[in-house]
């Protein structure tokens, strides 16, 4: 019997994990199955571009993984039984079950309404392809002078507001943020951000808590109405509820709690990567949900799985950050350099150079998915299923 590795989710984290496993384990004794609901790889970091009418390159997963040794299974994951080591799915043929020996859980995240009334009914989001396409259709319907309110002053809110304002200068775009605009950034980056908002004519509602969303706009905690024909909710991401419904140890956010090798602290045959994992970063603080964490956690998990199955030392590196790259439309951006634990350094790159850096990073991330095994050296090893090897930090 071959060792069955099942990877759930083919986003940045799951697709990279599956590819790396395929390059490192011998096909004679391993089978790798990648389960994903969407037939295409979804470039989530460009959802604000999709929502504003830009078209993204299609990347069908079956084409991408053809010949790599990874079997793509297009199916919706409905449940995981970590005690029986099975995954419940629904695909075109109806309900089914997949058994695993090792599971890599990478189902990512979706928009969270943060418990605010009216968000689910009246707000749009750009957390996924379907919702971004819904917003795209709604924006296309808006006449000149219509108002769009983006709620959330984080990276996604800033990218959404600037993208909408740049692509539709005929609309009145506003952003509501709980804090000050970009208040976590360096002085240089913050000044640049404010100037970009001024240039694009985006109205700011800073230090504003949104307590409700209605068909005609949002209402603040103080009861002030902010009228908008379209409200875009970017105030939070939440993980899919599948993990929390298992006996896996999960955090209050529903993320699977993992050690430095991305292995579940409660179930050694389960690994979690990307947004779905609660992993400690460089200074012990949790990694933020991002592509910047998703890819290194995928590599970490794949390398640890291979090491454990083939009886080699298990690498346990601390994952750290180098920068936060924020697009401000297509012609402007900020590259904020950060410490490994994500605190801003005084230096930042802005303008066209930052646009080039951001584009290079996004293209590289998508390229690595489209060519899943191209840059990974072939080191296909046989499984020995040795005793637990020691963990080393390399």
Ligand X SMILES: Cc1cc2nc3c(=O)[nH]c(=O)nc-3n(C[C@H](O)[C@H](O)[C@H](O)COP(=O)(O)OP(=O)(O)OC[C@H]3O[C@@H](n4cnc5c(N)ncnc54)[C@H](O)[C@@H]3O)c2cc1C
**For residues 254 and 112, what is the distance between their CA atoms, to the nearest angstrom?**
12
User: Are the C-beta atoms of 173 and 164 separated by less than 8 Å?
Assistant: yes
CA angle, 23 then 15 then 74, to 5° = 115
User: Are the C-beta atoms of 203 and 173 separated by less than 8 Å?
Assistant: yes
Burial class (CB in 10 A: 0-12, 13-18, 19+), 55: exposed
Q: Does 303 bind ligand X (CB under 6 A)?
A: no
Q: Candidates 33-41, 144-152, 195-203, 310-318: pick the segment binding ligand X (CB under 6 A).
A: 33-41
Q: Candidates 80-88, 92-100, 104-112, 341-349: pick the segment binding ligand X (CB under 6 A).
A: 104-112
Compute the least distance from the CB of residue 292 to ligand X, in Å: 4
Q: Which residues contact 124 (CB under 8 A, 6 or more apart)?
A: 51, 131, 134, 135, 138, 230, 231, 232, 233
Among 153, 182, 274, 281, binds ligand X (CB under 6 A): 274
Residue with the closest Cβ to ligand X?
11
Among 216, 290, 317, 391, binds ligand X (CB under 6 A): 290
Partner residues linked to 257 by β-bridges: 278
Among 292, 305, 334, 335, binds ligand X (CB under 6 A): 292
Q: Does 281 bind ligand X (CB under 6 A)?
A: no
Q: Candidates 44-52, 65-73, 256-264, 334-342: pick the segment binding ligand X (CB under 6 A).
A: 44-52
Q: Does 45 bind ligand X (CB under 6 A)?
A: yes
Q: Which of 32, 18, 2 is nearest to 373 (CA)?
A: 18
Among 287, 325, 334, 348, binds ligand X (CB under 6 A): 325
**For residues 108 and 341, what is the distance between their CA atoms, to the nearest angstrom?**
21
Q: Candidates 30-38, 142-150, 243-251, 310-318: pick the segment binding ligand X (CB under 6 A).
A: 30-38
* Site pattern 111..140 for ligand X (x: CB under 6 A): ---------------xx-------------
Among 5, 11, 23, 366, binds ligand X (CB under 6 A): 11
Q: Does 163 bind ligand X (CB under 6 A)?
A: no
φ/ψ bin of 241: left (φ > 0), alpha (ψ from -120 to 50), beta (otherwise): alpha
Compute the least distance from the CB of residue 385 to ligand X, in Å: 28
The single-letter DSSP state of residue 254 is S
Q: Does 291 bind ligand X (CB under 6 A)?
A: yes
**Closer CB to ligand X, 89 or 219, in the complex:** 89
**For residues 229 and 270, what is the distance between their CA atoms, to the nearest angstrom?**
45
Among 30, 131, 156, 208, binds ligand X (CB under 6 A): 156
**For residues 190 and 170, what is the distance between their CA atoms, to the nearest angstrom?**
26
Task: Report H helices in 201-333.
Answer: 291-310
Q: Candidates 203-211, 214-222, 287-295, 305-313: pick the segment binding ligand X (CB under 6 A).
A: 287-295
Six token digits for residue 78: 């409905």
Q: Does 263 bind ligand X (CB under 6 A)?
A: no
Among 25, 72, 82, 106, binds ligand X (CB under 6 A): 106
Q: Does 166 bind ligand X (CB under 6 A)?
A: no
**Closer CB to ligand X, 211 or 245, in the complex:** 245
Compute the least distance from the CB of residue 384 to ligand X, in Å: 30
Q: Candidates 3-11, 194-202, 335-343, 378-386: pick the segment binding ligand X (CB under 6 A).
A: 3-11
**79-107 as b/e, with b when 16 or more CB fall inside 10 Å?**
ebebeebbbbbeeeeeeeebebbbbbbbb
User: Are the C-beta atoms of 220 and 226 separated by less than 8 Å?
Assistant: yes
Q: Which of 215, 237, 53 is nearest to 149 (CA)?
A: 215
Q: Does 9 bind ligand X (CB under 6 A)?
A: yes
**For residues 233 and 237, what is the distance between their CA atoms, to the nearest angstrom?**
10
Element spanning 319, H or E: none
**Closer CB to ligand X, 53 or 227, in the complex:** 53
Q: Which residues bind ligand X (CB under 6 A)?
A: 9-14, 35-38, 42, 44-45, 47-48, 76-77, 106-109, 126-127, 156, 159, 240, 242, 274-276, 289-292, 294, 325
């Amino acid at each position: 019997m071959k060792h069955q590795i099942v990877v759930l989710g083919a986003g940045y984290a799951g697709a990279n994990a599956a590819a790396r496993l395929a390059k490192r384990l011998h096909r004679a004794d391993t089978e790798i199955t990648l389960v994903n609901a969407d037939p295409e790889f979804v470039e989530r970091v460009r959802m604000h571009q999709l929502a504003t009418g830009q078209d993204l390159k299609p990347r069908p997963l079956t084409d991408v993984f053809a010949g790599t040794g990874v079997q793509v299974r297009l199916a919706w994951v409905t449940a995981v039984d970590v005690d029986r080591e099975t995954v419940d799915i629904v695909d075109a043929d109806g309900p089914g079950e997949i058994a695993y020996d090792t599971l890599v859980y990478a189902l990512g995240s979706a928009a969270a309404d943060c418990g605010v009334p009216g968000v689910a009914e009246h707000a749009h989001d750009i957390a996924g392809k379907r919702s971004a396409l819904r917003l795209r259709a709604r924006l296309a319907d808006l006449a000149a002078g219509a108002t769009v309110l983006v709620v959330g002053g984080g990276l996604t809110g800033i990218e959404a507001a600037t993208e909408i304002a740049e692509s539709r200068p005929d609309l009145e775009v506003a952003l509501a943020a709980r804090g000050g605009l970009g208040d976590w950034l360096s002085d240089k980056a913050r000044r640049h951000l404010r100037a970009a908002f001024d240039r694009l004519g985006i109205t700011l509602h800073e230090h504003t808590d949104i307590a409700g969303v209605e068909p005609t706009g949002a209402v603040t905690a103080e009861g002030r109405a902010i009228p908008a024909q379209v409200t875009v909710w970017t105030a939070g991401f939440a993980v899919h509820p599948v993990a929390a419904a298992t006996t896996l140890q999960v955090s209050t956010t529903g993320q699977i709690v993992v050690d430095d090798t991305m292995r579940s602290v409660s179930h050694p045959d389960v690994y979690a990567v990307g947004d779905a994992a609660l992993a400690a970063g460089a200074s012990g603080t949790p990694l933020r949900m991002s592509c910047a964490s998703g890819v290194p956690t995928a590599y970490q998990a794949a390398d640890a799985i291979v090491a454990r199955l083939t009886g080699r030392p298990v690498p346990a590196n601390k994952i750290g950050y180098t920068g936060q790259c924020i697009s401000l439309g297509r012609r402007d951006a900020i590259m904020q350099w950060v410490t490994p634990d994500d605190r801003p350094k005084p230096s930042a790159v802005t303008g066209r150079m930052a646009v080039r850096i951001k584009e290079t990073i996004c293209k590289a991330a998508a390229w690595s998915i489209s060519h899943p095994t191209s840059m990974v050296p072939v080191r296909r090893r046989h499984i020995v299923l040795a005793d637990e090897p020691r963990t080393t930090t390399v």
